[in-house]
Amino acid sequence: MVINLSLHHLRAIEAVQRTESFTRAAEEIEVSQPALSRTVAEAERRIGTQLFERTTRKVTATVTGTEVALYAAHAVRSFDSALERISGFVTGSS
């Protein structure tokens, strides 16, 4: 089974799991809350399982959501680090 997720999906999943809030996660990654909700819902469809339990007051990662968020966090950190290194190389500051 191949799962097709973008970095955008991974950032959203990681932020929601870490902040336990769609609102705070949206603010942090600078997207609207409805757009973040759609991104997470799309990721859940692509993965084929629910990643978060949602109530009107709280968002909690499922067991799968917690595990996916750990991998997502690793991928996001790695990508961001690579971009920093590329930027440093291009600007001559590294």
What per-residue confidence (pLDDT) applies to 89? 92
CA distance 87 to 10: 22
Report if pTM > 0.75.
yes
Residue with tokens 């991104």: 39
Are the beta carbons of 75 and 66 closer than 8 angstroms?
no
Q: Is the per-residue pLDDT at 72 higher than 90?
A: yes
Averaged over 8-24, what is the pLDDT?
Answer: 97
If one counts every other C-beta atom within 10 angstroms of the C-beta of residue 5, the result is 18
What per-residue confidence (pLDDT) applies to 85? 94
Are the beta carbons of 40 and 51 closer than 8 angstroms?
yes
Averaged over 32-60, what is the pLDDT?
Answer: 95
Count CA within 13 A, CB hemisphere, residue 6.
Answer: 4
What per-residue confidence (pLDDT) applies to 69? 97
What per-residue confidence (pLDDT) applies to 92? 85
What per-residue confidence (pLDDT) applies to 57? 85
